[in-house]
Amino acid sequence: MNKKVVIGMSGGVDSSVAAYLLKQQGYDVIGVTMQVWQEDEEYEAVEGGCCSLSAVEDARRVAYKLDIPFYVMNFKDIFKKNVIDYFIDEYMQGRTPNPCVACNKFIKFDALLKKAMELGADYVATGHYAVVEKHDNRYILRKSEDDKKDQTYALYNLTQFQLEHTLMPCGVYKKERIREIAKEIGLLVHNKKDSEEICFIPDNDHGGYIKKQVPSKVKPGNFVDKEGNVLGRHKGIVYYTIGQRKGLGIAFGVPMYVTDINPLRNEVVLGSENDIFKTELIAKDINFIPFDSLQGTMEIQAKVRYSAKPSRAWITALDNGRVKVEFENKQRAITKGQSVVFYNNDLLLGGGVIDEIL
């Protein structure tokens, strides 16, 4: 009897081709789109969002073409609690969240995996660009064949159990080849553009989204310098993130950057570009993949945002499961709430959430 796999289908080219590849490999494939949108007519009508109604129809057409069963499953409540509410709360606390990391941790590889197992499936699958391998009785994650599309940064939270029951067939291909395969098998999504915005904020205005959700909590305050001198007024701390220069709504004659956000005083601290380069941080909520925990100090490569190149660094175990990260060279705009992710060349070691900048 063939092994059964539930694949999360977003209506995009990656998950569509992933479903095809799994079927070619002999799996019994079931397509599932996770309903996470929150009764927002403007969003439900939007083109291209990975969770929108148009995405559901694209996924349904692909499933029909591939002759696999297809279901839409309701994950609205768990998505709101673990992704949307978390996203809003982090910005209100002066941090910059990473909703894709949260979605992978709580939705795709937890809630969807549990639902898949209830259906009698052996695996859950996605269109992520990463490679799952088994090595010395332990599951590991390696960077994908396509370095530009590699998504391991957002997958560092995966546990051994989750990796044992996860398939990512796109990881051994380059994106161009995935599009070619889609075209060869007649999928209309072969040239569909990649979704790059936050899936529940299609216009990319995260500040405006939060203001709409919690209007009474987003209040104007002061821009200040590092000595506390008032420089002007801001429209609410949720509109800003560390390293931001554009969109401050005020001109200073010289470039000014957001260097800190103080939620207690409702202040946004501005300074020069030099002020946003740092070398040390402390991270919490740590997860390691090739081993259970860090002992002492280890030399690694790390990056503090999805688009960054990994840089040489050292991680040292602290109390309460935290780690200190010391970079060899200064990193631009290390940001509380974002993830710092650790590598050994193409091997994903793990990561955590940036909690303090030293």
Q: Contact at 8 Å (CB) between 30 and 7? A: yes
**CATH label, 219-271, candidates 1.10.600.10, 2.30.30.280, 3.40.50.1100, 3.40.50.300:** 2.30.30.280
pLDDT of residue 48: 45
Average pLDDT over residues 293-317: 95
pLDDT of residue 53: 61
Q: Is residue 117 part of an annotated ligand binding site?
A: no
Contacts of 345 (CB under 8 A, 6+ apart): 301
pLDDT at 203 > cutoff 90? no
Average pLDDT over residues 47-72: 81
Q: Is residue 311 part of an annotated ligand binding site?
A: no
Average pLDDT over residues 122-129: 96
Residue 3 vs residues 63, 80, 123: alpha-carbon distances, Å:
18, 32, 8
Q: Count of residues for the chain?
A: 358
Positive or negative, the Cα torsion across 327, 158, 346, 87?
negative
Positive or negative, the Cα torsion across 249, 218, 241, 79?
negative
Does residue 48 or residue 355 have the better pLDDT?
A: 355
Q: Is residue 49 part of an annotated ligand binding site?
A: no
Residue listed under structure tokens 């401050």 = 248
**Token output for 56:** 């559901």
pLDDT at 31 > cutoff 50? yes
Would you call 103 a catalytic residue per the annotation?
Answer: yes
pLDDT of residue 40: 54
pLDDT at 288 > cutoff 80? yes
pLDDT of residue 39: 62
Q: Is residue 12 part of an annotated ligand binding site?
A: yes
Q: Compute the mean pLDDT over every residue in the chain, rounded to the nearest whole number.
A: 92
Residue listed under structure tokens 């688009």 = 307
Does residue 201 or residue 156 have the better pLDDT?
A: 156
| Collapsed DSSP state (helix, strand, coil) of residue 279 | strand
Would you call 100 a catalytic residue per the annotation?
Answer: no
Q: What percent of the chain has pLDDT over 70?
A: 95
In degrees, rounded to 5, the angle at the alpha carbon of residue 92 between the alpha carbons of residues 90 and 96 is 40
Average pLDDT over residues 98-125: 95
CA 263 to chain centre: 24
Rounded Cα distance between 320 and 322, Å, is 6
pLDDT at 64 > cutoff 90? yes
What are the extents of the domains in the chain? 4-185, 219-271, 276-357
Q: Is residue 10 part of an annotated ligand binding site?
A: yes
Average pLDDT over residues 192-208: 82
pTM for the model: 0.92
Q: Contact at 8 Å (CB) between 17 and 178? A: yes
Report domain 4-185's class.
alpha beta
Q: Is residue 271 part of an annotated ligand binding site?
A: no
267 backbone dihedrals φ, ψ, rounded to 5°: -115, 145
pLDDT of residue 43: 46
Q: What is the CATH number of domain 276-357?
A: 2.40.30.10
pLDDT tens-digit profile of 342-354? 999 999 999 999 9
pLDDT tens-digit profile of 136-149? 899 999 999 888 89
Q: Is residue 92 part of an annotated ligand binding site?
A: no
Q: Which of 50, 100, 103, 170 is catalytic?
A: 103
For 1, other C-beta atoms within 10 Å of its C-beta total: 4
Q: Is residue 73 part of an annotated ligand binding site?
A: no
pLDDT at 42 > cutoff 50? no
Q: Which of 50, 51, 170, 199 is catalytic?
A: 199
**Token output for 320:** 């309460």
Q: What percent of the chain has pLDDT over 90?
A: 80
